[in-house]
């Protein structure tokens, strides 16, 4: 990544609570405002303002989870000067209101917010493998298709896949509407050894600023490789359930599509329910 963009991202992460302007962010990158805005979008897939907004909502989530500050206090702490605009931005990005998120953080997020509603003129599928970097144990991976390079509400399709240590796992993400989408993954991986739970690592993956184009009745093949997150990665905003890696993942050679239970004609997968894909191929019958 361009070092000027890296300087700007560092500025955003350090000063997100201030009323930052595009000019101030560009000055931190030692670039003119117009050239900087174009370069930042080319490098990250986001405008500087959208990246700043994502950082603010991310820190608001952390404050809601870990402090007793009021929602109003949090909104001002992360750079908003209006509780209403903060609440609207938070709800649009996370999928639930700030007060609802506080309850979920206390009680546990049981299910995802539902996918973006249709109707869609056509849909296709993306399938392939998900692999972990070396030195990690089993992982539970959330994979979704999004309009932007940010894991935020809403996804248009999503799935959770259990990936074993040391080998790829198959996935198939179905009912993706026609169009170009960002395929993004978030994972929690166990460590290796007797203290695997204490050494858990968060991982990310997918196409980032690139998109996958889906057409009606098509099947796109995409390999997803997970990696540790980097400072330049946009934060995770969607209210995700706990991605608790399983102790054991059954594996078999080869890949097969993951077939969910059939839905009634004309209906997409019900909102708020995750499909967990096994690493094993689906049996083809006797």
pLDDT-flagged residues of the chain (< 50): 256-286
Written as six digits, the tokens of 15 are 């000063």
Question: Which tens digits make up the pLDDT trace of 172-227?
Answer: 999 999 999 999 999 999 988 666 666 889 999 987 778 999 999 999 999 999 99
The packing angle between helices 3-15 and 33-44, to 10°, is: 90
Query: How far is the C-alpha of 144 from the C-alpha of 156, rounded, in Å?
Result: 7
Q: What is the pLDDT of residue 112?
A: 63
Q: What are phi and psi of 39, to 5 degrees?
A: -65, -40
Query: How far is the C-alpha of 35 from the C-alpha of 67, rounded, in Å?
Result: 39
Annotate the chain with three-state secondary structure: CCHHHHHHHHHHHHHCCCCCCHHHHHHHCCCCHHHHHHHHHHHHCCCHHHHHHHHHHHHHHHHHHHCCCCHHHHHHHCCCCCHHHHHHHHHHHHCCCHHHHHHHHHHCCCCCCCCCCCCCCCEEEEEEEEECCCCCCCEEEEEEEECCCCCCCCCCEEEEEEECCCCCEEEEEEEEECEEEEEEEEEEECCCCCCCHHHCEEEEEECCCCCEEECCCCEEECCEEEEECCCCCCCCCCCCCCCCCCCCCCCCCCCCCCCCCCCCCCCCCCCCCCCEECCCCCCCCC
Q: What is the pLDDT of residue 55?
A: 98
Written as six digits, the tokens of 214 are 């889906």
CA dihedral 131, 134, 137, 142 (to 10 degrees): -30
Contact between 130 and 216 under an 8 Å Cβ cutoff? The reply is no
Q: What is the pLDDT of residue 74?
A: 98
The packing angle between helices 48-66 and 33-44, to 10°, is: 60
pTM: 0.84
Query: How far is the C-alpha of 196 from the C-alpha of 201, rounded, in Å?
Result: 10
Q: What is the pLDDT of residue 25?
A: 96
Residues in Cβ contact with 68 at an 8 Å cutoff, skipping those fewer than 6 apart: none
């Amino acid at each position: 990544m361009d070092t000027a963009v890296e300087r700007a991202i560092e500025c955003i992460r350090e000063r997100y609570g201030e009323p930052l302007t595009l000019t101030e962010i560009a000055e931190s990158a030692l670039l003119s405002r117009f050239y900087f805005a174009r370069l930042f979008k080319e490098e990250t897939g986001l405008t500087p303002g959208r990246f700043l907004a994502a950082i603010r909502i991310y820190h608001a989530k952390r404050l809601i989870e870990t402090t007793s500050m009021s929602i109003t206090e949090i909104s001002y702490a992360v750079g908003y000067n209006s509780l209403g605009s903060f609440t609207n931005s938070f709800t649009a990005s996370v999928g639930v209101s700030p007060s609802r998120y506080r309850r979920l953080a206390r009680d546990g997020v049981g299910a995802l917010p539902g996918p973006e509603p249709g109707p869609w003129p056509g849909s296709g599928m993306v399938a392939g493998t998900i692999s972990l970097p070396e030195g990690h144990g089993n992982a539970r991976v959330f994979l979704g298709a999004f309009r932007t390079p940010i894991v935020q509400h809403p996804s248009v399709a999503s799935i959770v896949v259990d990936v074993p240590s040391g080998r790829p796992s198959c996935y198939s993400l179905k009912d993706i509407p026609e169009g170009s989408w960002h395929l993004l993954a978030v994972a929690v991986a166990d460590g290796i050894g007797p203290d695997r739970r204490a050494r858990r690592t968060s991982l990310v993956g997918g196409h980032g600023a690139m998109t996958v184009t889906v057409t009606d009745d098509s099947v796109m093949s995409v390999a997803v490789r997970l990696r540790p997150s980097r400072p330049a990665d946009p934060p995770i905003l969607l209210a995700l359930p706990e991605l608790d890696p399983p102790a054991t993942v059954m594996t078999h050679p080869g890949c097969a599509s993951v077939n969910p239970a059939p839905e009634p004609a004309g209906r997409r997968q019900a909102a708020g329910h995750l499909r967990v894909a096994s690493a094993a191929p689906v049996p083809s019958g006797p």
